Amino acid sequence: MPLVVIVGLGWGDEGKGKIVDCMSEGASVVARFSGGANAGHTVHAGDMKLVLHQLPTGLLREGVTGIIGAGCVIDPVSLREEALLLEKLGVAAWQRLQVSPHAHLVHPCYRLEERADEESRGAAAIGTTLRGIGPAYVRKYGRRGLRVEDALRSRDFAEKSMAILSGFGSEAASSLRADVERFVEDSCAVASKAADISSMILRALAEGRLVLAEGAQGTLLDPDAGTYPYVTSGSCVSGAACSSLGIGPSRIDEVVGVVKAYATRVGSGPFPTELEGPLAEHIRRRGNEYGATTGRPRRCGWFDGPLSAYASRTNGCHWLAITLLDVLGGIDILKLSNGFDGSAPAFPLLGEGLSSLKPVYEDMQGWPEEIGGIRSWEELPEAARNYVIRVEALSGAPVRLVSTGPDRSEVIWRRS
């Protein structure tokens, strides 16, 4: 059985949670390899709607071992709360969780630091989730971070954590003291989950079991591949699965790119195909395009062919899963961007230069029907099939999975 890496091709919120949940049936291990509590992976199962922020989505399936990789930054307090919530629903999440000792921990003061940093940027603020993600990665790469393994030496760890608090001045020291004490306690609990995750994954593969590596955010939010500086701070591309999980690139069998049938982004930064007005509102309402972590309304726009192709090749996608196709139902004419006006740039412009590019659109016929209940490719309206085929051509990788609604049962596997 293979090792499959699943990544988002846009600015996050592509519906990776649903695709990972769907593919994790029969998996032995599901490992999150990036991000932290900034992510919000939503799964609808029957009447239940669950939003996972830090736990690997695959944990919802009985018998799956969940792993959090070294490339993640862990907020131990919210991780324990999330696990507790699942325990109450009868999912033995904490019991089946293992963590890399090398993952970094998000100290409560990092949120303060992030808020101040965002304020200092004024109109150029990134629009982060304010979960302390940026400061945690800054400390990691500045070689001043707190790692899970540090919490194994609890006394030293408590001293270090309190020293960080003292650095934020006397007001913070009194208002955040209880939070830091809880942080220390929960970090120690997380440290009890530390394991040699690389060996675990390799063992599962040697036994012929299915292992999924679950990304967070999306390629266009990656600090190297994305729309810098309007990006997150953890790596979102398939290659990052290797360093985070301790597996070589030669062990990856398949890379799956999750692409939305249209485009969305939360926070600031260039968005060439962005829509405004009633059509954007229509898509936002039908797609429930509000942040799963922050509740912020997401910016909505047309499918962007050049950016999708760029993201697909950056990840080396073998195939794609297209999500939220049902949301486009009822729009007469759909537009897809297939290039940029003027001469092609010599290299992908993803920084401020992207804002100056004007997309070129082609029109496609929409479909009036609701497609949620449809379970086979052949039964989809012809216009919806044509749309998927066009997304596939513009992205440069075959679409094998079509998601037609929020529930885990609302998927169509395309065999041909």
User: Active-site residues: which are they?
Assistant: 13, 41
Out of 267, 270, 287, 359, point to the residue binding ligand IMP (CB under 6 A).
267
Q: How far is the CB of 215 from ligand IMP (least distance, A)?
A: 10
Q: How far is the CB of 95 from ligand IMP (least distance, A)?
A: 26
Q: How far is the CB of 114 from ligand IMP (least distance, A)?
A: 7
Q: Which residue is nearest to ligand IMP (CB)?
A: 267
- Single out the segment in contact with ligand IMP by CB under 6 A; choices: 7-15, 142-150, 394-402, 407-415: 7-15
Strand 319-323 versus strand 254-260 pairing type: parallel
Buried b (16+ CB within 10 A) or exposed e, 83-119: beebeeeebebbebbbbbbbbbbbbbbbbbbbeeebe
Would you say 232 and 11 are in contact if contact means Cβ atoms under 8 Å apart? no
How far from chain centre, in Å, is Cα 241?
13
128 forms part of the interface with ligand IMP (CB under 6 A): yes
Q: How far is the CB of 127 from ligand IMP (least distance, A)?
A: 5
For 332-382, list the strands marked E by DSSP: 333-340, 359-365
The encoded tokens of residue 80 equal 């324990």
DSSP code at position 194: B
- Cβ neighbours of residue 241 under 8 Å, at least 6 residues apart? 5, 31, 33, 69, 213, 215, 247, 252
Helices 305-315 and 382-395: crossing angle in degrees, nearest 10, is 60
Out of 133, 184, 258, 354, point to the residue binding ligand IMP (CB under 6 A).
133
Distance (Å) of CA 251 to CA 255, 312, 335, 358: 11, 19, 39, 40
Q: How far is the CB of 171 from ligand IMP (least distance, A)?
A: 24
> Residue 397 and residue 306: Cα distance in Å, rounded?
13
- Single out the segment in contact with ligand IMP by CB under 6 A; choices: 125-133, 241-249, 253-261, 308-316: 125-133
- Three-state SS string over 67-126 comes to EECCCEEECHHHHHHHHHHHHHCCCCCCCCEEECCCCEECCCHHHHHHHHHHHHCHHHCC
Within the chain, what is the greatest distance between any pair of CA atoms? 66
Taking CB under 6 A as the criterion, which residues in 40-59 touch ligand IMP? 40
> Residue 328 and residue 369: Cα distance in Å, rounded?
10
Strand 399-403 versus strand 411-413 pairing type: antiparallel
Q: Which one, 13 or 326, has the nearer CB to ligand IMP? A: 13
127 forms part of the interface with ligand IMP (CB under 6 A): yes
Q: Which one, 268 or 386, has the nearer CB to ligand IMP? A: 268
Taking CB under 6 A as the criterion, which residues in 159-218 touch ligand IMP? 217
Q: Which one, 252 or 266, has the nearer CB to ligand IMP? A: 266
Report, in angstroms and rounded to the nearest whole number, the Rg of the chain calculated over CA atoms. 21
351 forms part of the interface with ligand IMP (CB under 6 A): no
> Residue 168 and residue 174: Cα distance in Å, rounded?
10
65 forms part of the interface with ligand IMP (CB under 6 A): no
Q: Which one, 127 or 372, has the nearer CB to ligand IMP? A: 127
Q: Which one, 40 or 71, has the nearer CB to ligand IMP? A: 40
DSSP letters, 32-65, are E-SB-TT--EEEEETTEEEEESSS-GGGGSTTPE
Binding mask 224-263 for ligand IMP (x = CB under 6 A): ------x-xx------------------------------
Q: Which one, 304 or 392, has the nearer CB to ligand IMP? A: 304
- Single out the segment in contact with ligand IMP by CB under 6 A; choices: 11-19, 67-75, 341-349, 359-367: 11-19
- Single out the segment in contact with ligand IMP by CB under 6 A; choices: 67-75, 121-129, 198-206, 374-382: 121-129
Q: Which one, 85 or 130, has the nearer CB to ligand IMP? A: 130
Binding mask 69-108 for ligand IMP (x = CB under 6 A): ----------------------------------------
Q: Which one, 53 or 80, has the nearer CB to ligand IMP? A: 53
3-state helix, strand, coil in the chain (%, to 5): 40, 20, 40
Out of 99, 221, 394, 397, point to the residue binding ligand IMP (CB under 6 A).
221
21 forms part of the interface with ligand IMP (CB under 6 A): no
Question: Which amino acid is located at 1 in the chain?
Answer: M
Give residues in contact with ligand IMP (CB under 6 A): 11-13, 38-40, 126-129, 131, 133-134, 217, 221, 230, 232-233, 266-267
